[in-house]
């Protein structure tokens, strides 16, 4: 049993809700394996209480925090500093303690990159489909272009929202690298090619596991590899449709893993070994009852 004493450092997750989180498994397992005197706990932060929560955590000497929905953008106004990448994305999921407050980072994007690379998914030079236009889709879009994607198509139920994200991406990178499409307009994609696709909506998330943003097999025949940011269930409807049409498909548990590992590294100034990363991943799957 781990010892908690007067030297124990505190990290945690703030959001609403937080009862479903698997993040404590990541950080507490890493701390235990490293022999680090650190504990990680979730904190439910009610509407209108975010600023107080961040200030309170700093006053209580908390080493760092993760931030989840619905506060990833709102928390920016509570920070002493913000990392350049997180500022461009417009969302923060990791707070690192500094002398006068917390500095905000976005490890969702870099975590997604490490997760995709671990599955052998190529970004450089690819044309990539991104389903959704919310915060997760923005992070995915920024990541893809920053890592050398030739072009991205942001597909959303509300094309205007997708258009806004595409314009922001084009403005940041100074080139026409992002285009917006309504979800039903996949027939307008250039013919004769297959794409990697990132499913960045909450559709298909447990308990609504039988849903997908697009059901038409013709769409999935255009995808050679699908990456769903949803990780529960372990085989989403999107993943099943990709596989049924002959493509490869992966869930988002490794993204959750790597964004957490990067947060842990930022808080503690360390580099987590691949052996520890794999041990944490096994522990996450065991906790969630996932078999691969």
pLDDT score of 232 more than 90 = no
pLDDT score of 234 more than 80 = yes
pLDDT score of 275 more than 70 = yes
Domain count, the chain: 2
pLDDT score of 1 more than 70 = no
Instruction: Verify that 240 and 117 share a domain, yes or no.
Output: yes
Q: How far apart are CA 44 and CA 283, in angstroms?
A: 24
Residue 168 belongs to a domain = yes
CATH of the domain at 61: 3.40.50.10860
Listed in sequence order, the residues at least 6 apart from 117 whose beta carbon sits closer than 8 Å to its beta carbon are: none
Instruction: Verify that 207 and 223 share a domain, yes or no.
Output: yes
The values of phi and psi at residue 70, to 5°, are: -105, 30
Q: In this predicted structure, what is the pLDDT of residue 3?
A: 85
Q: In this predicted structure, what is the pLDDT of residue 229?
A: 95
Q: What is the pTM of this model?
A: 0.92
pLDDT score of 292 more than 70 = no
Q: Which of 144, 156, 139, 150 is nearest to 117 (CA)?
A: 144
Instruction: Verify that 243 and 160 share a domain, yes or no.
Output: yes
**Catalytic one of 51, 52, 72, 188:** 72
Q: In this predicted structure, what is the pLDDT of residue 204?
A: 81
pLDDT score of 131 more than 70 = yes
**Strands, sheet with 101-105, edge to edge from the N-terminal-most edge strand:** 38-44, 9-15, 64-67, 94-98, 101-105, 81-82
pLDDT score of 257 more than 70 = yes
Q: In this predicted structure, what is the pLDDT of residue 58?
A: 98
Residue 1 belongs to a domain = no
Q: Is 10 exposed, middle or buried (0-12, 13-18, 19+ CB in 10 A)?
A: middle
**pLDDT band at residue 233 using 50, 70 and 90 as cut-offs:** confident
Instruction: Verify that 173 and 211 share a domain, yes or no.
Output: yes
Alpha-carbon distance values, 289 to 183, 282, 284 (Å): 33, 10, 8
Residue 2 belongs to a domain = no
Instruction: Verify that 148 and 48 share a domain, yes or no.
Output: no
pLDDT score of 150 more than 90 = yes
Q: How far apart are CA 172 and CA 165, in angstroms?
A: 11
Instruction: Verify that 100 and 19 share a domain, yes or no.
Output: yes
Q: Is 112 exposed, middle or buried (0-12, 13-18, 19+ CB in 10 A)?
A: buried
Q: In this predicted structure, what is the pLDDT of residue 202?
A: 87
Listed in sequence order, the residues at least 6 apart from 238 whose beta carbon sits closer than 8 Å to its beta carbon are: 131, 199, 203, 204, 212, 213, 226, 228, 230, 249
3-class SS of residue 265: helix
Is 55 in contact with 78 (CB distance < 8 Å)?
yes
Question: What is the extent of the structural domain holding 245?
Answer: 110-251
Instruction: Verify that 240 and 268 share a domain, yes or no.
Output: no
Residue 3 belongs to a domain = no
- Over residues 20-36, mean pLDDT: 96
Q: Is 248 exposed, middle or buried (0-12, 13-18, 19+ CB in 10 A)?
A: middle
Computed over its alpha carbons, how large is the radius of gyration of the chain?
19
Instruction: Verify that 205 and 130 share a domain, yes or no.
Output: yes
Instruction: Verify that 207 and 267 share a domain, yes or no.
Output: no
Percent of the chain at pLDDT exceeding 70: 99
Which of residues 182 and 208 earns the better pLDDT score? Answer: 182
**pLDDT band at residue 289 using 50, 70 and 90 as cut-offs:** confident
CATH of the domain at 147: 3.40.50.720
Instruction: Verify that 17 and 63 share a domain, yes or no.
Output: yes
Q: Write out the DSSP string of 145-191.
A: HHTT-SEEEEEESSHHHHHHHHHHHHHHHTS--EEEEEGGGGGGSPS
Q: In this predicted structure, what is the pLDDT of residue 207?
A: 76
Residue 4 belongs to a domain = no
pLDDT tens-digit series, residues 102-129: 999 999 999 999 999 999 999 999 999 9
Q: How far apart are CA 290 and CA 292, in angstroms?
A: 7
**pLDDT band at residue 135 using 50, 70 and 90 as cut-offs:** confident
Q: In this predicted structure, what is the pLDDT of residue 191?
A: 87
Q: How many CB atoms lie within 10 A of CB 55?
A: 13
Q: How far apart are CA 124 and CA 226, in angstroms?
A: 16
- Over residues 208-237, mean pLDDT: 94
Instruction: Verify that 225 and 100 share a domain, yes or no.
Output: no
72 part of the active site: yes
Instruction: Verify that 134 and 247 share a domain, yes or no.
Output: yes
Q: Write out the DSSP string of 199-215.
A: E-SSTT-TT-TT--S--
Residue 57 belongs to a domain = yes
Residue 165 belongs to a domain = yes
How does the average pLDDT of the chain come out, rounded?
A: 95
């Amino acid at each position: 049993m781990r010892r908690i004493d007067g030297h124990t450092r505190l990290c945690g997750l703030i959001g609403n809700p937080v009862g479903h989180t698997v993040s404590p498994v990541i950080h507490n397992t890493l701390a235990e394996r490293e022999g680090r005197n650190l504990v990680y706990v979730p904190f439910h932060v009610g509407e209108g209480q975010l600023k107080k929560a961040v200030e309170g955590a700093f006053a209580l000497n908390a080493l760092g925090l993760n931030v989840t929905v619905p506060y990833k953008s709102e928390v920016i106004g509570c920070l002493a500093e913000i990392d350049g990448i997180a500022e461009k994305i417009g969302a923060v999921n990791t707070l690192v303690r500094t002398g006068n407050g917390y500095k905000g980072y976005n490890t969702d994007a870099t975590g997604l990159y490490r997760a995709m690379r671990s599955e052998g998914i190529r970004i450089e030079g690819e044309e990539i489909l991104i389903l959704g236009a919310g915060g997760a889709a923005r992070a995915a879009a920024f990541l893809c272009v920053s890592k050398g994607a030739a072009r991205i198509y942001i597909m959303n139920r509300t094309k205007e929202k997708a258009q806004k994200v595409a314009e922001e991406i084009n403005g940041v990178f100074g080139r026409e690298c992002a285009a917006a499409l309504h979800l039903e307009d996949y027939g307008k994609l250039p013919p004769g090619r297959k794409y990697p696709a990132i499913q960045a909506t909450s559709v298909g998330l447990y308990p609504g596991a039988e849903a997908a943003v697009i059901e038409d097999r013709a769409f999935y025949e255009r995808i050679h590899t699908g990456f769903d940011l949803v990780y529960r269930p372990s085989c989403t409807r999107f993943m099943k449709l990709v596989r049924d049409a002959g493509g490869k498909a992966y869930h988002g548990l490794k993204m959750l893993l790597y964004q957490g590992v990067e947060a842990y590294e930022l808080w503690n100034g360390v580099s987590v070994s691949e052996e520890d990363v794999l041990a944490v991943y096994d522990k996450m799957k065991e906790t969630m009852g996932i078999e691969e």
